[in-house]
Amino acid sequence: MTRPIRVLVAKPGLDGHDRGAKIVANALRDAGMEVIYTGLHQTPEMIVEAAVQEDVDVIALSVLSGAHMTLFKRVRELMDKNGVGDVALVGGGIIPDQDVATLKGMGVGEIFGPGTDTRRIVECIRKLVEEKGNR
């Protein structure tokens, strides 16, 4: 018997809008995943520390502030530095299409824009975890 997929849902930076993150967290939980929601105003350091402590399979960042390039880059750097570079990293929020390819090049597995069907998010996370084979 394998344990459920563990997903850390985080709101980095000064963005105070978390409705989407909470909807995604509930959908992942309803799909049988264990969800750790860190709350608002998390630093990249806090996010990666929580990921290490919670032994997660996925870090999911919700960014609506426009600081996505800086925040994803810093989280990815800290993941590698702290030995969790094999954890899947995904994100969502207001992220322009022209930035998605760059983020994926940094190691972000998938970006989900506003209105993405939560079933697609669940399916993508399952696929990413399966591909990583960490569990």
Query: Tens of pLDDT along 63-99?
Result: 998 899 999 999 999 999 999 999 999 999 999 999 9
**Residue length of the chain:** 135
Answer whether 92's CB lies under 8 Å from 7's CB.
Answer: no
Range of the domain at 44: 6-130
Total domains in the fold of the chain: 1
Helix, strand, coil: what percent of the chain each, to 5?
A: 45, 20, 35
Does 1 map to a domain?
Answer: no
The strand order across the sheet containing 110-112 reads: 34-37, 6-10, 58-63, 88-93, 110-112
Q: Is the pLDDT of residue 134 over 80?
A: no
Residue 88 placed within a domain = yes
β partners of residue 111: 91
**What mean pLDDT is predicted for residues 46-59?**
98
Residue 94 CA, distance from chain mean position: 14
In a domain, 135, yes or no: no
> Which runs of E-coded beta strand occur in the chain?
6-10, 34-37, 58-63, 88-93, 110-112
Kindly report, residue by residue over 90-104, the tens digit of the pLDDT.
999 999 999 999 999
List, for residues 10-50, the tens digit of each pLDDT value.
999 888 889 999 999 999 999 999 999 999 999 999 999 99
CATH number of the domain that 69 lies in? 3.40.50.280
